[in-house]
Amino acid sequence: MLLLSLKIYRVLCVKKAYSLFVFSFIYSISFAQNVAVVNGKSISAKEFMWAYKKSHNGNVSVPYDTLQAYLNLYINFKLKVLDAREMGLDKDADYQEEIKTYENALATHKKVGVSSKDQDFLLNEYREGVLMFNVSEQKIWNKAQEDEQAINEFYTKNQQNYNKPLNEVLGAVIADYQQRLEEKWLKSLKQKYQIKINESELKKLAKL
């Protein structure tokens, strides 16, 4: 009886080990096709390069350092979008109406020769772009424009950087304050959400 139990235990251990191996293998293949994972959501190499080429006039011959810098910016963008969704901004009626209008316009003016994948990327870019704008408005721009006390305190603490009265450098002070708000916001998002970058995939893309 004991011998039979040991055999069954060994079979179960082998099956468990095999299942873990298969899962790890599938995960490694899946991750290899991504440049990063943000809070469990993958950024595929195709999406990333589509976004890069779109913002760089179709240029595909890119050094690694340039791609790495752009990926950092793209991850920041994704973090802001994630925060917007956490705040429920994607459930806002005005937002949904705006996206629906864009979807209809995109379908009506679909260009000949544009792949369905490109259409998906365009739509997703618009969805996320509007969310990023809306959340940035709340987290940065409105705060900088409406909080006079915070602006005055920021100016006082950093007066050595301006050497002029506040009324003469107000625009520059507001811009610097907005940057400070964004830096703090992104720092908190990076502490809140897990980020994993696939350096090997990024290096492959740099060689293409």
Of the two residues 166 and 3, the one the predictor is more confident about is 166
Span of 18-32, 95-109, 193-207 with lowest mean pLDDT: 18-32
* Residue 102 scores a pLDDT above 90: yes
Beta strands in 16-166 (DSSP E): 34-38, 41-44
* Residue 30 scores a pLDDT above 70: no
Give the integer Cα–Cα distance in Å for 3 and 152. 80
At residue 1, the pLDDT reads 53
Would you place residue 115 in the very low, low, confident or very high pLDDT band (cuts 50, 70, 90)?
low
**Tell me: the pLDDT tens digits for 40-77?**
999 999 999 999 998 887 666 788 999 999 999 999 99
Angle at 160 between CA 158 and CA 164, to 5 degrees: 100
Candidates 126, 123, 178, 131; CA nearest to 151 is 178
* Residue 113 scores a pLDDT above 60: no
Average pLDDT over residues 114-135: 90
Span of 49-58, 167-176, 184-193 with lowest mean pLDDT: 49-58
Class of domain 33-207: mainly alpha
Span of 20-24, 109-113, 176-180 with lowest mean pLDDT: 20-24
The pTM (predicted TM-score) of the whole model is 0.80
At residue 81, the pLDDT reads 98
* Residue 21 scores a pLDDT above 90: no
